[in-house]
Structure 1
């Protein structure tokens, strides 16, 4: 890969000449040198809102005037060429490809700023070329990974969903709600707040199963019925009957009070 054309006619990237005139670079030549697709042509890039904003910033900061971008139409059978200030050209290089942008940041910038590149030994040139080859390989690998990513994600998500569904199904099969345990022991029905109170007592006794199962449109707490039987036999059943009796007594008291 020749960095700067020995004849001094311009810049050469991978055998393609990139013309320059004054502070202007040929964006068309850059597009060809980078080997980019039609969708990345200068005319397409210059239409983007982000590009327009950057161009306005360059014109305002560097005061390069209205001729910061020049498009020359070609004749019959000859394509036209778009020239732009070299700062705009560097932004275009970043849009085209990482390796081309890296090359432009060093070689093109030095050339446009009038700096002389020092003599580069053949071994260093070989290392640079090898580095560019590694970079192209990495970019290719990243592209391949991006293409494969949807399949990888689906491969990972499906087992997770299946595990979550299996966990929910296990909870529904093995667990019981506080109301189900309450009713199974013949405790008085229709006591407002009793399911919440009873569920909290079961949870305090270590009966609560991890996670929550979905029934209909809401998640519910489920309890281990075997553990529930144990703590009920150790005094929770008696405590619950006292609670129910007190709550029912309060209800009768309010009813009598209302009649009075």
Structure 2
């Protein structure tokens, strides 16, 4: 039966929607959007416009192991839409909602193993223990890959990624990190030194001050949204370094 299901399905199916792929195996984000309910605010275009998404795409593009463009937009023709690498497709699903991300994770896994059951439901209130364990494992693997590509993040920030992805499924099994010592955003540093946060960033980049000695890279809340972005936070030594280069 499993082999029959696999042979009869040319692509994963979620909520009755076929999640098609292009010739490179990238997943159709427009199909995922439709399977999630099709809300206008959750279109791929809106996700692509976020800073955190662009940073993730850039990190993945720098990994030559993928051997292909990780995201592409095809206009016109039979197979049109926004197609993205599996990691990006899962990230997009998580941006839509944590519950939808779990559904996509499980469907992709079952499809690859030839164990896909017809029309999984997005509003499934719970997973059997075995499927739950498999979902946790898949999300853990995604967290590992993301942390591998975001290599400049500090250990506490990587721990926060694991906690955010795994805890919604498994419960509070991964504690959120407690940072040692006070750190400050570029804006806060600028307020102390009488310059703008933008100026702080320019100085730090010019003199390569974003190092472990001067602070840490963290996942921070974007200023005008609830999205997570990669930012550098400065410690006391970092503030002194910025100040010293202001006086050059």
Larger radius of gyration: 1
Shorter chain as denominator, the TM-score bin is 0.3 to 0.5
TM-score normalised by length of structure 2:
0.42
TM-score normalised by length of structure 1:
0.40
Q: Which has the higher contact order (CA 8 A, sep 6+)?
A: 2
